[in-house]
Structure 1
Amino acid sequence: MARLVAAMLGGVDSAVAAARAVEAGHDVTGVHLALSRNPRSYRSGARGCCSIEDAGDARRAADVLGIPFYVWDMSTEFADEVVDDFVAEYAAGRTPNPCLRCNEKIKFAAVLDRALALGFDGVVTGHYALLETGAGGDVELHRAQDAGKDQSYVLGVLTQEQLRHSHFPLGGSVKTDVRAEAARRDLQVATKPDSHDICFVADGDNAGWLREKLGERAPNHGGAIVDDETGEELGRHDGTYGYTIGQRKGLRIGTPAPDGKPRFVLDIEPVEGTVRVGPRERLAVHGLEGIRPRWCGTVPVADTWDDCTVQLRAHGDEHRARLRVHEGGESVSVELLDPAYGIAPGQAVVVYDGSRVVGSATIASTDRSPAGSAR
């Protein structure tokens, strides 16, 4: 039996994960994370995972399970590591993944560190992923049984030490069974909708939220939307932070392309304040460079090419690829055997060997030449 902290976010998944940990005989304490000093500035209702309503739902679930319940204030850590990083990345023309960042810096760093310091043995969450013990004794992170709910991508930042203290009771389940189990256990969150979008953007309008945070203070406030092939200025924008590579909607450029096909954002130049657009085929990425790699287990051998697959966005497609870790281990190259579209710096590349997560890196640059930068 282990002493475990159950991260209870107020949804059905974390509640059932906690229930299963209790049923398995563990000594479980429920913890809800207060991520904002002003909770009403974050999502309300069923759309987020950090609202006042979520805290109440988590407490009621803990009461049903008969376990102690506490609220841990992580608002300072969340603001510094997730919200400020999100703003800075968009201001620099990159596209971050705040949920992945939250897993890395908050749920499996700050929370786990505090839990261990308090004498707990690990953390239970409602993530859909599987943990297995490998031949060498390492804890391996694998894709969940329910492919539609698999969250191994956003867990690809976890280290071996963090995985050894992690518990994912839902990895072998499908969502419909989890909801049915919650109903049998009389958990009121059984029918609560899943959370979506970014929890700290209150109305779901990311561009509007960034405009409020940056506005005219940003060095890239206002600029031209330019046809990448002809150099023609097609329109103006209020800030490059309102755009991301691969975006099609909301460009407001009016003038149709000569071939009548839609245009997409190809590049963002935050210093000059220029957004470049063009046809979809120009978005094809054949290679990429990654920085700040994090490995879930053994680090791949440097300066050799390894066959693998990669995932480039949450719930995105899996791509056949080859991976090379550079000497010193500070960066990686990835050659995509099948092109990917709309991939932007700032996103994460998560590397797989079959269903096993090898590790991840932050995309620093992409190569759209058919040969690929990694060949």
Structure 2
Amino acid sequence: MRTFLSVLIFLLFSNNTLQAESDTQIKQEATEIVKKWNNSFNNKDIPALRTLFGPTVYYYGTNLNNNEVIIDIERQLLTSYNQLIKSDIEVSFYTTGIIKCEFIKEVFVKGKRKSYPSYLLLLKTGSEYSITGESDEISDKNTNGNNNIGLESGMYIERESKFSWFLVVTFLLTILGFYLVFREFKKKSNKSNDNYLAEAKITSNQTFKNRPTFFPSESEKGHDFEKFVVDRFKKEYFILKHWRSDKMHNGISPDSNKYPDLEYDFKTKSAKAKIAIECKWRSGFDDGKIEWAKDYQIKNYIHYKKENGVDVVFVLIGIGGMPNYPDELYIIPLEEITSTILYKKSITKYQRFSKSSFFFNPDYRTLT
């Protein structure tokens, strides 16, 4: 199916391109014939003119043979005849294969100058062109040439479109292409619906308990908040030494789970310190308070600080919003927390309103 459409599109575009290139080439060649005809006239080159004209020529309202045309041209050239093409050469095509080249011809005869809306009719046979007509609009009007001789000879019937059949075929192929695409889409749609109904039937027999959930787990929420916190420590000053995410399987967890989540070495040219961060995210305050930890966890954090030479432990609490971008952020030194329950009104002074990078003051041991 896709191969067919690809071939169809290729043929349509390639044919259009080839037709356009063919027209352009023919117009260029026809223009050169007109220029050659004009130069031969001015150079009085009778042999060249005889070669240019075809066996039969529509010549200013009359059909003449090649020899009769040349005799008339020789008569003109006995005088001080000269001509000049003053305009661009417009090329058009006819259903009979005739190519019409229109231009303004300025004629000099016996010191007088006149301009005529003229044209040549060309016919291409193989790779050769021959002039099958020479006239101008004034002569045609005077001799009724357009209405009689031209139409009778079939030379003046302008074709509606050189590629009319091509357009018809293109249209039919396009309709066929749309039909095949629609049929393929409908087939896939029906198959998709069948699969959906089959899956729905199976799912309807499942309980909510067995259905997969797409909500993040508590550990995933915690990890997202940790990433939010880590992003705000500048690597130029804070070297991350440990990142402990809570891990557990069938009740088995590493001993490091009881320690703070993050541990940093803070270094500048004039100061250094070791700090630890415990990250907690809650969706909101419950009646103006949250439980941020259990008693044993607080004891573990205090023990960890003493045993590992940590200068200060901070508890970072995110409230509301999303774990990776909370609405509120609180930075509380562990040593200033005395309970597992924190009230919003009591921790307001620790709220950090900026979401930019953290700044640690080693003298006051504050993180802002």
TM-score (norm 2): 0.20
Structure with the bigger percentage of helix: 2
Bigger Rg, which one: 2
TM-score (norm 1): 0.20
